[in-house]
Structure 1
């Protein structure tokens, strides 16, 4: 943690941090909570950061922790797949949401996409960990997420891509402070 604290001053973006509620992580739950609380508090002391947050099976806990540390920064719920109520709470807390092609292949994922605010949706492939049809996703396959967004939003794929790039550009300047991302070209 001392190294994290020292390096935190040199960046505007922290990720991927958060909590993972999968069974293999449960034996380490206290340590995970302690580390996450430390990261949020340190980020708040440093004036806030853009935070890419893992929330696998822990969305309620993540949102609760963010409510206790509202100055920690701008949360981006990585590969969001919470409940409808959690999605509404996240939206109300000004969270950003990232989605990938693998998570939108089912009805639940598409329903969530429809409910997400277009101005706060980002894309990712989650490759090579995520796969479609048993094939790991690569960097260039994020277009599959644009296609899913387009279908849910009732727009053309290029319009969905433009909306995501515009959202990413806005994220760079959240809170009036430049987040340190390189410029993104469409």
Structure 2
């Protein structure tokens, strides 16, 4: 029985190492060929993605929005373990496209807001509806399988928007009720 446990443990370790080596090899191959330049990063794709973004103009920023889904960590908006992050986090000023993939289990969106001097991300006040003030918004991706404003990006789907940004600091937020308070924001720095 002890030998069976050791053999099972060895197989688990061997499988994990093989998956890691395969992942690294695939990343190196794609980076070398440039094949991943216009694709949503594989690690951000949710199973069953129903659509993909077209080729987009300008610098492409991949944005992932995610949550742990209902029923986990309390099942309330503040307890979902929600996240929003962008890659790259620093881009040059000018035309850029945000390609947003929802890897979570609930609907999300991304709104682009300028960050006032001296203000950090996650410091905006929320109203009684659990949302931040969108005054001054420069654009948003909230349409399932489409560009611009809509009713949110469905789980497993992609949404996108293209805009022109000047040098400065911007906060990308999911502004559905309670999502900002749950941690769905990140900074995008636009340099000269």
- Structure with larger Rg: 2
TM normalised by structure 1 equals 0.30
TM-score by length of 2: 0.29
Q: Indicate the structure with greater helix content.
A: 1
**Structure 1 or 2: larger strand share?**
2
